[in-house]
């Protein structure tokens, strides 16, 4: 397989429920449109089975997986979606974290866009990814860069990536939103500038992916997703991949349709007069509210005195102060 080309579909007749004509059309598209420039176009029946798409998750601690004990980030769930769609893939990179057999990535805690740029040529040269999933800019926001400065730095990084991997597909994230209001505001402006930045390059293999819906109680702390947040990120990446490659629109559960989820949220508490930090894991339910809205709430219990006797009272509550971390 020439790196940069999409592998032939495998066993997709069952997964997609497609007829022979549709399968032949998809194979023809793979042979004539998605192959590297200069590669010979194979007939539909000549597509070699078993080729593997090399995917590099690239970014900072969010890509690494901070916020979950196993550090699987979005990668574990994305691998589930892709393998469920019948795609053979391999995460690549110098870092290894996660809970599955495929743990490779290039997620570097604390890295800014320009710090990724200092090493990205080496990573791309060594691992030769066919697909790059880039989520970068969070640390620039927290360090106080303004949105225009951050997007300019992103442009430099994108040009580096394209020069190093001319045929790779580069999926560029509009980043998740911090719980810190001023950081979220900067990130929203930065995110709004990204589509024009990408469009200016007139590069059909550079695709914007909106990850900004991951925020609030989708985060374990102020800036890193909890497991449910990473599931949403994986779904968003998969949707972008399915619109670019011949994959089914759905493969695995859609977290945006879930009405119950287990979340582990960090919080600051006072114990014996000292500030402590702990993580509370609870089941959360998306519940209808009297005003017609829907809100994620969790069922709590407390003991009250009624006529001098202890009684357990159950009540629903929201997450409280999300800045108390």
Per-residue pLDDT reduced to its tens digit, 164-188: 999 999 999 999 999 999 999 999 9
- Say yes or no: 75 and 205 in one domain: yes
Average pLDDT over residues 44-51: 38
Helix (H) or strand (E) run with residue 192 in it: helix 181-200
pLDDT at residue number 41: 28
In the predicted structure, residue 11 carries a pLDDT above the cut 50:
no
Token pair of 24, please? Answer: 């032949």
C-alpha 22/C-alpha 324 separation (Å) is 54
Verify that 166 and 84 share a domain, yes or no.
yes
**Do 187 and 274 fall into the same domain?**
no
Please say whether the beta carbons of 262 and 281 come within 8 A.
yes
Picking from 231, 257, 283, the residue at the C-terminal end of a domain is 257
Domain holding 3, by residue range, is: 1-47
Which of the listed residues 233, 257, 281 is the one where a domain comes to its end? 257
CB crowding 108-130: b at 16 or more within 10 Å, else e: beebbbbebbeebeebbeebebb
- Please state the pTM of the whole predicted model: 0.83
Sheet holding 274-288, edge to edge: 260-271, 274-288, 294-306, 309-317
Q: Is residue 296 domain-resident?
A: yes
pLDDT value of position 6: 44
Q: What is the CATH number of the domain that holds 214?
A: 3.40.50.1110
- CA distances 48 to 11, 54, 78, 91, 167, Å, are 12, 16, 24, 21, 20
Residue 325 maps to a domain: no
Report if residue 243 sits inside a domain.
yes
End of a domain among 29, 47, 65? Answer: 47
Q: Are residue 290 and residue 163 in the same domain, yes or no?
A: no
Whether residue 185 sits in one domain with residue 77: yes
Domain membership flag for residue 122: yes
116 located within any domain: yes
**Do 118 and 152 lie in a common domain?**
yes
Q: Does residue 324 fall inside a structural domain?
A: no
Q: φ and ψ at 126, to 5 degrees? A: -75, -40
Residues 26 and 119 in one domain: no
For the chain, what is the domain count? 3
Inform me whether the pLDDT recorded for 301 exceeds 70: yes
- Lowest-pLDDT choice from 20-29, 39-48, 93-102: 39-48
Mean pLDDT of the chain: 86
- 158 contacts 169 by C-beta, under 8 angstroms: no
Residues 12 and 143 in one domain: no
Pair 121, 197 in one domain: yes
Helix, strand, coil distribution of the chain in percent, nearest 5: 35, 25, 40
By mean pLDDT, which of 197-201, 202-206, 214-218, 266-270 is the weakest? Answer: 266-270
**Does 224 share its domain with 304?**
no
Residue 131, domain member (yes or no): yes
Distance CA 138, CA 154 (A): 11
245 versus 10: which is more confidently predicted?
Answer: 245
Asked if 133 and 210 sit in the same domain, the reply is yes
Answer whether residue 322 is part of any domain: no
Domain shared by 211 and 281, yes or no: no
């Amino acid at each position: 397989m020439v790196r940069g080309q999409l592998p032939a579909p495998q066993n997709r007749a069952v997964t997609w429920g497609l007829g022979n004509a549709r399968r032949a059309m998809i194979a023809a598209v793979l042979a004539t449109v998605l192959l590297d420039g200069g590669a010979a176009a194979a007939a539909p029946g000549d597509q070699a089975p078993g080729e593997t798409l090399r995917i590099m998750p690239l970014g900072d601690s969010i890509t690494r997986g901070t916020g979950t004990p196993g550090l699987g980030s979005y990668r574990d769930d994305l691998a589930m979606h892709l393998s469920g769609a019948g795609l053979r893939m391999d995460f690549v990179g110098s870092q290894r974290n996660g809970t599955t057999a495929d743990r490779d990535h290039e997620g570097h805690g604390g890295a800014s866009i320009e710090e990724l740029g200092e090493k990205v040529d080496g990573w791309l040269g060594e691992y030769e990814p066919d697909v790059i999933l880039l989520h970068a800019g969070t640390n620039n926001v927290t360090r106080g860069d303004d949105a225009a400065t951050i997007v300019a730095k992103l442009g430099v990084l994108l040009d580096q990536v394209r020069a190093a991997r001319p045929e790779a597909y580069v999926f560029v994230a509009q980043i998740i939103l911090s719980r810190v209001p001023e950081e979220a505001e900067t990130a929203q402006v930065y995110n709004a500038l990204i589509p024009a930045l990408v469009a200016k390059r007139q590069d059909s293999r550079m695709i914007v992916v909106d990850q900004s819906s991951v925020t609030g109680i989708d985060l374990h702390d102020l800036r890193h997703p909890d497991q449910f947040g990473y599931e949403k990120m994986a779904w968003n990446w998969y949707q972008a991949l399915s619109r670019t490659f011949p994959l089914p629109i759905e493969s695995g559960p859609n977290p945006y349709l879930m009405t119950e989820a287990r979340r582990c949220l960090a919080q600051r508490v006072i114990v014996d007069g000292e500030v402590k930090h702990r993580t509370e894991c609870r089941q959360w339910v998306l519940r209808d509210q009297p005003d017609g809205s829907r809100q994620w709430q969790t069922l709590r219990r407390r003991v009250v005195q009624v006529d001098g006797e202890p009684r357990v009272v159950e009540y629903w509550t929201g997450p409280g102060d999300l800045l108390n971390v």
